[in-house]
Structure 1
Amino acid sequence: MNKKYQVFISSTYEDLKEERDQAIKAVLEMGHIPVGMEMFSAGDEEQWQLIARQIEATDYYVIIVGHRYGSETDEGISYTEKEYDYAKECGVPTLGFVIDNKALWPHDKTDNDTIKKDKLDLFKTKVKSKLVHFWSSKEDLHGKVSISLIKTMNTHPRIGWTRSDEAIGPEITKEISRLSTENANLRKEIEKFKKISDKQANKTGEVARIMFENTRTVYVREESGINWEDCDKYKTELFSIFNYIAPSLINEGSNLRIAQDIALNLHGTSYYQNIPIPTNTISDIIADFVALDVIEPSRKKHAVSDKEKYWTLTNFGRDFIKSARRSALESRRNDEESEQKIINDD
């Protein structure tokens, strides 16, 4: 069955309209269903019950945090934080995206009130207690939302939704019909976003999805003469393979260097230096990355006697690996901060 996931997108509203649009666009490009608080009026308790129902029915929850805390309930908590707390209470997987403090940001979209700023800092700390990503622009956010959702959907699949003619039982048909009705106004707005030309951001999410969904089986040889069938075998995603070889291709790397980088990351240092991986496997992997427009033949000159083939990253490949590695660095930084917080609390 073609499963679709419901993704609840939460943030303060006026200051993050364009960023929310990018997150909604990323979800739509993946073929899933975005929902959010803009469908309802925030100050109405009856409307909160509708929002709560949407969160309860949500498969994944995306929280985007900028430099404003947002409008507050009578209890003194922002509606954004109230939505986040309720999603965690319901056990919905949450994906946090917090603005990088170094990012350029308009002054009129920043809280200046001391109390608001203190509440915002506490809320950011709460969000960062789990894995988060830091973003610096709406385009940067678009790519990171796409990559994070793809990874989370692959590693933590949820119930999701299916077409009524594929599902079993009338209850699912009824629920999908209800959801379609409630999302009618939002879908009209989404049509506007589909026309926005943002090819680079679209391409990043699409290439990441393809890399995550495609795996390759790789044999690694330890010594000369051993049959490939007797070698250690590894199955890994194209996304991981690209991360293995990309650092060497920032300048340029040969077919052999690419094979050695893959062997080192999969097997360790005890691989056969000359032909660690079958040449046809390396050729297929290179062809895949050429098709995805992340690598291309190097234009640097080499000695006539040098028969090696050399490759380098395309401009898109450089942007793609920068985004992927920055995301990994930010995740690692958050893990270290969380670990240090636990140590300090102890």
Structure 2
Amino acid sequence: MTDKRYQVFISATFSDLREERAVITQTLPALHCLPTALEQHNQSLGTMVAIRRQIDESDYYLLLLGSRYGSLMPSGVSYTHMEYVYAATKQKPMLILMHENPDSRPAEFQEKTPEGRLKFGDFRKLLQRERESILYWRDARDLEMLLQQFTPELIRKHPTSGWVRVGKQGADKTLDLQKENESLRKRVLELEQEREKWLKGNALSSENLAKGEDPFEVQYKCRAYAGGNCQDIYAKSRLSWNELLVSFGPHLLQPQPEDIILSKINERLQSGALQEVQREYPKTHAVVDIQVTALCFNTIKMQFLSLGLLQKVSKPGDQRIWWQLTAPGERYLANVLNVRRITSRPAS
């Protein structure tokens, strides 16, 4: 008989829900669930990379909502809100636990500003509109009872693979699969090297390629918020090739997985996304989940590859795609980033 466990990502504000979070983390293990969460947010867009990875790896998502909207991302949307949006887009089975009467909670647990209270109210309305089943709680005891009743029901209605402890037979099969996988990985690497060699031998002259301060129109998808409404839209940002290189280049002095390039480009797009979206949707007050389109991302990678500034590298035992600046790429980036000395003229 297998001993299956399920990973549950817990999304909640921090200081106002300490007791309630403790109840959840103590109750779930008895229900064959492993609670996980990012306890502290460091107020950076890079935090979302870690959050998304944890949500991706989790079987279920649990949102605990008290009386606070939570700490804000640079876009103006809270991390808790963004975690919910991402889990919903990934279609994670979820439990929504919402306080029955948030205004009745102590003053220190309330939002301090009118803007915070407005965003919290809009978030509650959004959840009530998008979710058919919301569980309401008043105290920690309610939470324990709701979890004991509805967690098994969630698992039954939405079965997932979970985590299983395997015996010796399973371990032997895993070892065989690992050997087969390693053999296939080596063959893929050989083919990649052949492809790179062919591309270098048939590369266009860089004189004919856009580069430097030449502009490039980057298309991206995002979620735009206006009041309590949210919609997925496409937008465009006009950036130079130097601006794109500066966004991720400093992180590629050593080999990095492709996700790093993607996340850094998305961060660069985030800085101007609100103003760009407001040109077409003036009532938008926040823009989140910036994702450069696959076509644009592939174009950017191939352009820098063709310019000789970027190269693919292999990591033994790692199937991900890794990238690093070439030596000419490092010199070019250094030239772009160099701060020139200003020579003052003597007073006449």
TM-score, normalised with respect to structure 1: 0.47
Which structure would you say has the larger Rg?
Answer: 2
Q: Whose strand proportion is higher, 1 or 2?
A: 2
TM-score, normalised with respect to structure 2: 0.46
